[in-house]
Structure 1
Amino acid sequence: MTYDDDTLMAYADGELDPQQRAAIAQAMRDDPAVAAAVARHQALRGDVFAAFAGILDEPAPQRLQAPLPARVHDLDAARSARDALRQQEQERQERQQRRHRAWPRWGALAASLAVGVLAGSLGSGWFGAGGELALARDAGGALSARGPLAQALDRQLAQDPGSGGIRIGLSFVAQSGAYCRSFQLGGSSGLACREGGHWRVPVLADSGAAAGDYRQASAQLPPAVLDAIDARISGATLDAAAERQARDRGWQAGPARQ
């Protein structure tokens, strides 16, 4: 029986079924010409693999690799990140409590305080990049935006570049009907809501970012600020067009939302 070159090459490459391989193996024993042809194909196969062995081990060029998926920043992702941080903090507190079981009860309670800090303990969060006062307390002790921060909350859109160390993030309508906006001030992040013609700041926390290190929208909001947003927001955050309309109307509050 004779075999064509394609069949003998398939035998050399190990691509035939057991019955075909057994038949050709018998033919090689019976016919030196068949054995010689298979040997040639095996030698050629070895030469080809040896020639390209180094290339096959090399990584694919960067231009041929699939691009990484674009990163999307949204409020849900920020909430998930906040929950993960809370879980890590809870685990850290539990480890600390196990190490200090002999502490008095008040010590254990102090160790379990949440990480988010309010403006009263922040030093750099009171001033803008130019040294102008950006936050102040009124007679009742409530924080309000002043100077450059108040101006940014009045006029700056989320898509605008930051100015004077201030960057505006999310804007939304609160359940009370008032407009609220998140912001970054130097290394701090906060939430401001329009009340009585002023921007009241119910929460200000360390964002963990250096001054000028602006993050997109809600991607890096501290847990304390996210909690304040969740407690107030009604519906979705404003898109670019709605944000611009609200600014042009002077952030006038609408009716309270259920």
Structure 2
Amino acid sequence: MGYPTQAMQRSQEALALAQELAHPQSLAYARFYAAYLHHRRREAPAVQAQAEALLSLATTQGFPLWVGYGTCWRGWALAAQGQGEVGLAQLHQGLAALLATGQTLARALCLVLLAEAAEHTGQVEEALGLLAEALAAFEANSRGDLLAEVHRLQGAFLLRQAGPEAAHAESCFQEALALARRQQAMSWELRAALSLSRLWQHQGRCDEARRLLTEIYRWFTEGLDTADLREAKAFVHELPA
């Protein structure tokens, strides 16, 4: 993980192949993972576009599982674009639809999406509770693909409370960073490093912030136009010399 341009190319190839084969289940899978990829790239309009296409396909074909996933992705995208309450309602509806199919593995991902949507509406305590549930669900399922990001989100949300908990937040960012490194998940490592560097900047630890973020940023050879990499580059340039 750390090659966003190649990931996008593979996603587009999968979509094209599924459409060429005219195989609805394969196309549903491709739409789902395209939405997942755009979520990781923080591209809410693109997530919504894939969600709408997935919902249309799933409704026509009678695929209740994919209706649930499509509804969840659409809910997250709406919340990320300023329609928080509508998005939250869609996410709850989508999760209920998924659980009704017996797909319990989907719960952890949906809890993360719900937490992000809740934070968008200012429900920080609710968001932290949802992340705690998500962590427990990931650990129960032995899934680690989103663990680093969940820890990072915990830290970010702790800093948005009425009484920010800087020490606890830093611990979350450090855990996210360590976990991403163990998984060799460079995109999650970059995001965790950016959150930690911003905290260090507020604490006057600008040299540490610059060293940490610059080292990770220089690893990337593609995807320099993605939101995380643009923000990392801009942040390093803004740090005082």
Which TM-score band (shorter chain)?
Answer: under 0.3
Please report the TM-score for the alignment, with normalisation by the length of structure 1.
0.24
Q: Kindly indicate which of the two structures has a greater share of residues assigned to helix.
A: 2
Determine which structure has the larger strand proportion and give its number: 1
Indicate the structure whose relative CO is greater, using CA pairs within 8 Å and at least 6 residues apart.
1
Which structure has the bigger radius of gyration?
1
